[in-house]
């Protein structure tokens, strides 16, 4: 590691010699500390002074003292030696994936039940890795992973299996969210479906004539298509189209209609909304996957995946 000052090379050996003399204020003791003889030590300090263009040490037959320029230079000299010592270690840790940054994308709905566990395990296993979290829909995550702007995603299927690898993190059922007091809410509540006293699941046909708050086919394609596959939607009964589960529930709370939401929406604890489980062909059709590009180059990623391997797949 070198620096160039006034066209002359400054070496770490010269800096190390100067710091040793500054510490000992004695050339003989400094030479012994460096396991060298005194003449080459003196030459190294003299060369350093020529490079710097200032006298750093005053020496006579009785003592060695730092000049004002030497005192100032000593501060940066110590920093330079510290950097020279830590830079290779830091580089190795980054190359090994023990240090660096990990960029994680997540959907708003996945944050309700999945994100917290993922972040907790990553920070515990990789304390020197900086997590950058970005809320975005699955389509944006896919683009970010392919473009190298993201390393991991908490996303919804389907995926291009040739470009991405994935692991299922959570399955959950669909619920029907109803304004409190709605006739279909009789016997239902805002507790976890399946708990004692919860109502029987609603049949999809019971929602045919209900005003429906639906998801955007562009910004929330996954839930939009899932609702169409699960409920006989009459398009003339769709009263609003939005992209986020929270927005859907706020409209239900306001009495604008009913909606189909993932069970994890219960974590929002929104008052004024009742929930009934929706009867579906698959008991838990909603999925969240851990997603990453097969060609990803971030050395942190393999360590992150190993840390998350212990995250169990959860269900409703």
In a domain, 120, yes or no: yes
Residues 33 and 115 in one domain: no
In a domain, 54, yes or no: yes
Residue at token pair 């003592």: 63
Can you give the pLDDT at residue 85? 74
Residues 190 and 65 in one domain: no
Comparing 98-107, 285-294, 299-308, the range with the smallest average pLDDT is: 98-107
Question: Domain with 142 in it: what CATH number?
Answer: 3.40.190.10
Can you give the pLDDT at residue 198? 53
Tell whether omega for the bond before 220 is within 30 degrees of 0, i.e. cis: no
Number of folded domains that form the chain: 3
Is residue 101 predicted with pLDDT exceeding 60?
yes
| Residue ranges making up the domain that contains 189 | 174-277
Residues 208 and 151 in one domain: no
Can you give the pLDDT at residue 61? 74
Residues 136 and 153 in one domain: yes
What percentage of the chain has pLDDT greater than the value 90? 52
Residues 207 and 146 in one domain: no
Residues 212 and 131 in one domain: no
**Residue 79 banded pLDDT, cuts 50, 70, 90:** confident
Residues 179 and 269 in one domain: yes
Residues 205 and 231 in one domain: yes
Residues 23 and 72 in one domain: yes
Residues 6+ apart with CB under 8 A from 171: 284, 285, 286, 287, 313, 314, 315, 316
In a domain, 90, yes or no: yes
**Residue 9 banded pLDDT, cuts 50, 70, 90:** low
Question: Domain with 11 in it: what CATH number?
Answer: 1.10.10.10
In a domain, 313, yes or no: no
Please provide the average confidence, as pLDDT, over all residues in the chain: 86
Which of the listed residues 63, 95, 127 is the one where a domain comes to its end? Answer: 95
Residues 108 and 84 in one domain: no
Can you give the pLDDT at residue 88? 67
Q: Which of 91-105, 110-124, 268-282 has the highest mean pLDDT?
A: 268-282
In a domain, 316, yes or no: no
Task: Give dist(CA 295, CA 281) in Å, integer.
Answer: 36
In a domain, 187, yes or no: yes
Can you give the pLDDT at residue 195? 35
More confident residue, 228 or 195: 228
Can you give the pLDDT at residue 112? 84
Residue at token pair 């993922």: 118
In a domain, 134, yes or no: yes
Task: Give dist(CA 84, CA 86) in Å, integer.
Answer: 6
Can you give the pLDDT at residue 89? 65
* DSSP code for 189: B
Mean pLDDT, range 132-138, rounded to an integer: 92
Is residue 206 predicted with pLDDT exceeding 50?
yes
Residues 6+ apart with CB under 8 A from 104: 118, 119, 122, 131, 132, 133, 134, 150, 151, 152, 153, 154
Can you give the pLDDT at residue 278? 96
Which of the listed residues 61, 95, 129 is the one where a domain comes to its end? Answer: 95
Is residue 224 predicted with pLDDT exceeding 80?
yes
Can you give the pLDDT at residue 178? 96
More confident residue, 126 or 8: 126
Q: Give the tens place of pLDDT for each residue, 150-176.
A: 999 999 998 999 999 999 999 999 999
In a domain, 114, yes or no: yes
Residues 273 and 179 in one domain: yes
Residues 178 and 270 in one domain: yes
- The answer to whether residues 274 and 178 touch, using CB atoms and an 8 Å cutoff, is yes
Which of the listed residues 69, 95, 121 is the one where a domain comes to its end? Answer: 95
């Amino acid at each position: 590691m070198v620096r160039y000052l006034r066209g002359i090379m400054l070496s770490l050996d010269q800096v190390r010699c100067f710091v040793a003399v500054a510490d000992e204020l004695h050339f003989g003791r400094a030479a012994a500390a460096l396991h060298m003889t005194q003449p080459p030590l003196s030459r190294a300090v003299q060369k350093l002074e020529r490079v710097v263009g200032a006298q750093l040490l005053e020496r006579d037959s009785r003592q060695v003292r730092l000049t004002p320029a030497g005192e100032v230079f000593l501060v940066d000299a110590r920093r330079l030696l510290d950097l020279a010592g830590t830079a290779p270690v830091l580089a190795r840790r980054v190359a090994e994936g023990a240090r660096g940054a990990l960029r994680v994308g997540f959907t708003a709905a996945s944050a309700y039940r999945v994100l917290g566990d993922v972040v907790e395990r990553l920070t515990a296993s990789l304390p020197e890795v900086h997590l950058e979290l970005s809320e975005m829909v699955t389509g944006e995550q896919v683009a970010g992973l392919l473009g190298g702007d993201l390393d991991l995603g908490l996303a919804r299927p389907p995926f291009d299996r040739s470009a991405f690898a994935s692991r299922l993190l959570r399955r959950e059922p669909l619920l029907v969210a109803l304004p409190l007091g709605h006739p279909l809410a009789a016997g239902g509540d805002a507790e976890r479906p399946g708990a004692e006293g919860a109502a029987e699941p609603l049949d999809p046909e019971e929602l045919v004539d209900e005003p429906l708050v639906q998801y955007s086919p562009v910004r929330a394609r996954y839930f939009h298509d899932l609702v169409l596959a699960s409920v006989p939607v009459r398009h003339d009964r769709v009263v609003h189209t939005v992209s986020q589960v929270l927005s859907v529930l706020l409209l239900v709370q306001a009495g604008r209609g009913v909606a189909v939401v993932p069970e994890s929406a219960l974590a929002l604890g929104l008052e004024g909304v009742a929930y009934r489980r929706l009867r579906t062909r698959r008991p838990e059709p909603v999925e969240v996957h851990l997603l990453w590009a097969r060609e990803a180059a971030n050395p942190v990623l393999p360590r992150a995946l190993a840390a998350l391997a212990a995250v169990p797949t959860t269900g409703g």
